[in-house]
Structure 1
Amino acid sequence: MASGTVQLHRVLRAPPERIYRAFLEPDGLAKWLPPFGFTCSIEHLDARVGGSYRMAFRNFGNGQSHAFGGEYLELLPNQKIRYTDRFDAPGPAGQMITTIVLRAVSCGTELTATQEGIPEVIPTEMCYLGWQESLEQLARLVEPEIQE
C-alpha cells in the first residue's frame, strides 16, 4: 500500500545545469544520494525518457543493503526530472514517483523535490530525514567553485 508524500524545498548556490547533472551522472548520484551512514552502488543508469536505473544502498554499520530501481518519466534539461522508484523484493511494495523541479534564481537554483506513493511501512518523517541528509550532501557536491 502506498500512502505517503514528502515535499522539500532548497535554494542551492549552484547553477541548474550542475544540479541536473548531479541527478543523472552515476558518480555524482552515488556521491550525494545515500543518506548519512550509507554507501551507494549504481548497477546501471540510462538517463533518458523511458530509460531505467538500478542501484543499492548499503548500511555501512551493519552491511545490510536494499536495492531499488525505476524508470525516467520526464527529463527537461536543467529544469525537471521525474522518475519512478520500486524496491526489490522483499522490500516495501509499490511504486513511488519522484519529481525534481529546478529554477534559476539570483543566487543559484531553487530546488523542489516531491516524492509520492511512499509505502505505509516507511514513516514519512524518515523520508524527510533521509532527503534532508541527501540534499545537504548534494549542496556539498555542487556548490563549491573549484579552480584548477
Structure 2
Amino acid sequence: MKTQNQTQIEAVPDLPVIRIIREFEAPPERVFRAFVDPELFAQWCGPRSIDTTVDRWDARTGGEWRYTASRAGDDFTMGFWGSFHEVRPAERIVQTWAFDGNPDGVSLETMTFEELDGGRCRVTAQSVVESMEIRDQMMASGMETGVLEGYEQLDELLEGER
C-alpha cells in the first residue's frame, strides 16, 4: 500500500532559517544512501522538468560537491556547489551550499535521518541563510516545487528498490 507523505516547509519565525521535514517509507540507511550516492541523487533531485548532472561528488566529511541542473528545450542551466562538513552514515549530513547565481550567498544545511517504527525514516533539513531577506526570497522563489517533486521522485526511487 502506497502512503502519501506530507512535506512540511517552513520559515522559522524571527530566524534566517528554513526547515523541511519529510517522512519516507524506507529505513534511514536507504534514504541516506539516496542523498550521498551521486547516481541516486541525480535521479531524484529537483523538479521533474529538470535534469541533474553531478560534476563532482565526494560525500565524506571534508569532501566537496557540485551539480548542474538544466532543462531540455530552453537555456536554463544552474550550478549548485558546496562542501560536506560532516557525513555520519544513516544519521546526519552537514553541508554548505551555494548556487552560481549568488556565490556569496552560502547556506549551512544540517540533515538528520531519524528511524521511525515500521522501517520508516524522517528527514529534517534545516538551512541557515545569511539574512531574513534571503530566507524570504528563497521561500518565494518557487523552491517548494523542486522540494515537493524531488521528494516524490525519491519516494518512487525508494519504492523501486524494494
Q: Please state how far the C-alpha of 1:145 moved relative to its aligned partner.
A: 4.8
After TM superposition, the runs of 4+ consecutive aligned structure 1 residues lying more than 6 A away are none
1:95 maps onto 2:106 in alignment: yes
CA distance in structure 1 between the aligned counterparts of 2:129 and 2:73, rounded to whole angstroms:
28
Q: Which residue of 1 aligns with 2:54?
A: 42
- Per the alignment, do residues 64 and 16 of structure 1 end up closer, same or farther by CA in structure 2, a change over 3 Å counting? same
Give the one of 139, 143, 150 matched to 1:124: 139
1:139 maps onto 2:155 in alignment: yes
The CA deviation string for residues 68-99 of structure 1, in whole angstroms up to 9 with x for no partner, is: 210001111101111111222xx023101222
Unaligned runs of 5+ residues in structure 2 are: 1-14
TM-score computed with the length of structure 2 as normaliser: 0.78
Unaligned runs of 5+ residues in structure 1 are: none
TM-score computed with the length of structure 1 as normaliser: 0.85
Report if aligned partners of 1:6, 1:128 keep a CA contact under 8 Å in 2: no
CA distance in structure 1 between the aligned counterparts of 2:137 and 2:144, rounded to whole angstroms:
11
Give the one of 127, 133, 150 matched to 1:115: 127
Give the letter for the 1:99 counterpart.
T
Q: Root-mean-square deviation (CA), in Å?
A: 2.0
The CA deviation string for residues 80-138 of structure 1, in whole angstroms up to 9 with x for no partner, is: 111111222xx023101222111111131111122221773844142233212211111
SS for the counterpart of 2:23 is strand
- Per the alignment, do residues 43 and 141 of structure 1 end up closer, same or farther by CA in structure 2, a change over 3 Å counting? same
CA distance in structure 1 between the aligned counterparts of 2:124 and 2:83, rounded to whole angstroms:
20
- Per the alignment, do residues 11 and 100 of structure 1 end up closer, same or farther by CA in structure 2, a change over 3 Å counting? same
Structure of greater relative contact order (alpha carbons < 8 Å, 6+ residues apart): 1
Q: How does 1:68-79 map to 2 (within 5 A)?
A: 68-79=80-91
CA distance in structure 1 between the aligned counterparts of 2:121 and 2:59, rounded to whole angstroms:
21
Give the letter for the 1:131 counterpart.
V
Aligned residues: 142
CA distance in structure 1 between the aligned counterparts of 2:107 and 2:127, rounded to whole angstroms:
7
